[in-house]
Amino acid sequence: MIALDPVPCPIDTLPSRGQAAAVALIDRAGTLEFAGLERWTGEVAAWLRGQGLPPGARVASWLPKTRLACVLPLAAPRAGLVHVPINPMLKHAQVAHILSDSGAIALLTQSARLASLEPGDVPADCAVFDEGDVHSADALPPSAADPDTLAAILYTSGSTGRPKGVMLSHANLWLGAVSVAQYLKLAPADRVLGVLPLSFDYGQNQLFSTWAAGASYAPLDYLTARDVVKAVERMQPTTLAGVPPLWVQLLESEWPKAATSLLKRLTNSGGTLTAPLVAGLRQRFPQADIYPMYGLTEAFRSTYLPPDLVATHPDSIGRAIPFAEVMVVRPNGAQAAVGEAGELVHAGPLVAHGYWRDPERTAERFRPAPVWAKSGGMAVWSGDTVTVDAAGLLRFVGRDDEMIKSAGNRISPTEIEEAVVAGGETAEAVAFGVPDVRLGQAIVVVARGDGTREADLRARLRRDLPSFQQPSRYEWRAELPRNANGKLDRAALKAEIIA
């Protein structure tokens, strides 16, 4: 287990030379020791520097989990640049938005992906490079960047509008890595199977926390749960992170008995683990510790529940992770009492630097910490309602915004609605989430019309949206209800559908 060092370092700083002989990466190309990872990071950073990109420029990547995709989150900040990873599941319009919004002046991708983009998707001033173009005989040393220097922008959907970029510094990323490695008790002997996207905050943190502990990371792009089972057999990992829908699929899959004993640590994010799901995981993986977690991209991660409390506190999201101060706050700004519902507010050095080029939404979510907080500065006011018990354990009550959480993804209903009406099959639509055993929430769309063009609408959205944003059901109405302000009445529609 690594020592908990509160002094932030540049995120591109790799484990000490004493761990250089340990294996850092296991992929289709073979194994890469930490010494090789350090060299490759320096070479990619030198190549980026050689492209003449100015300090602080945004460099986007749209890649599967190749070796380059794994090293870019370290190499770009080492070169003084800001990395913008794009989820490989996104379609051309969403990629175009992220490239434009971030102001990226370089995109690293693959020729097949580039061919799926349409004219105008890549800004005129954004240079495009194939990952095969990246090579250098030189190598940059670790950076000496100020810990508050911007290192990455991760895009996440907001409650309204298109995805917004969360600005993360070297300190945010480094301290997040150290924190998670500490409470998960990761050690150099561990091997982590990386199934989460590297554009997802916890997927990227898996990479960093694994390497901060001197452990081995094995990236995996998978299509089915069976692919994960086979990878566990083949790679023999000790640690696997997932979201609830994946755990459901893995429990429904057939497992060789020997493979179930390999996993020692299961970590969950992106949704709540239900009691039946926990019971199933315990039965299937009896030797594994289970770590439920709660987090916000705006502060990376807020709480975790220690494995020894999972059975006795199944509805708890746990307590604050190292470096985080998590509070329950009344509407008047005072501290909520034990058992009293209030807003979860996260303060401390894991708090991000706001939303990229969006001061209005930054001001809504990032506000000064309560005067009674131990941590000063800005805090993330989550909009989530929680309670705290006498033991200091938090329980999630509800989400105040209208975000849809499906298959571990936070989905903006506005983005779905804009896509639905874009083709003219309907003029008005409302999207929201309804409870679903497998997905957590399924996307339902209520649209104005008679439904005669539903087949055309479904076919178009299959082309325009990734699989996790596809509506599962459409309800058609001659008219949609409106409230006193003339806006579509979402609450009435949702109550009608769920009733």
Are 296 and 302 in contact, with CB atoms under 8 Å apart? Answer: yes
Give this prediction's pTM: 0.86
pLDDT at 1: 44
Average pLDDT, the chain: 91
The Cα–Cα gap between 499 and 493 comes to 10
CA dist., res. 56 & res. 457, Å (int): 41
Q: Is the pLDDT of residue 443 over 70?
A: yes
Whether 197 shows a pLDDT value over 80: the answer reads: yes
In this predicted structure, what is the pLDDT of residue 499?
74
Averaged pLDDT, 283-304: 94
**C-alpha distances in Å from residue 128, one per residue of 12, 98, 117, 122:** 24, 15, 12, 8
Q: How confident is the model at residue 191 (pLDDT cuts 50, 70, 90)?
A: very high
Among candidates 406, 183, 199, 157, which has minimal Cα distance to 303?
183
Which pLDDT score is estimated for 490?
81
Determine the angle formed by the axes of helices 67-78 and 201-212, rounding to 10 degrees: 80
Identify the band that residue 415 occupies on the pLDDT scale cut at 50, 70 and 90.
confident
DSSP state of 161: S
Residue 37 has pLDDT above 70, yes or no: yes
Residue 102's pLDDT band (boundaries 50, 70, 90)?
very high
Domains of the chain: 17-396 (3.40.50.12780), 404-498 (3.30.300.30)
Residue 104 has pLDDT above 80, yes or no: yes
Residues written for the chain: 499
pLDDT at 17: 43
Give the pLDDT confidence of 237-290 residue by residue, as tens digits: 999 999 887 898 899 999 998 999 999 999 998 777 877 889 899 999 999 999
Q: How confident is the model at residue 34 (pLDDT cuts 50, 70, 90)?
A: very high
Mean pLDDT calculated for residue range 115-133: 96
pLDDT band at 401; cut points 50, 70, 90: low
Predicted confidence (pLDDT) per residue in 464-484, tens digit: 999 999 999 999 999 888 764
Question: Which among 305, 68, 104, 86 has a CA at the least distance from the CA of 207?
Answer: 68
Q: Greater confidence, 399 or 30? A: 30
Model confidence at 159, pLDDT cuts 50, 70, 90, reads very low
Calpha distance 78→483 (Å, rounded): 52
Contacts of 198 (CB under 8 A, 6+ apart): 65, 69, 70, 73, 85, 204, 207, 219
Residue 297 in this model has a pLDDT that exceeds 80: yes
352-377: average pLDDT: 96
Amino acid at 443: I
The pLDDT score that the predictor gives to residue 7 is 65
What is the predicted pLDDT for the residue at 484?
45
In our burial notation (b when 16+ CB lie closer than 10 A, e otherwise), range 40-70 reads bbbbbbbbbbebebeeebbbbbbbebbbbbb
Q: Which of 90-94, 147-151, 388-392 has the lowest mean pLDDT?
A: 90-94
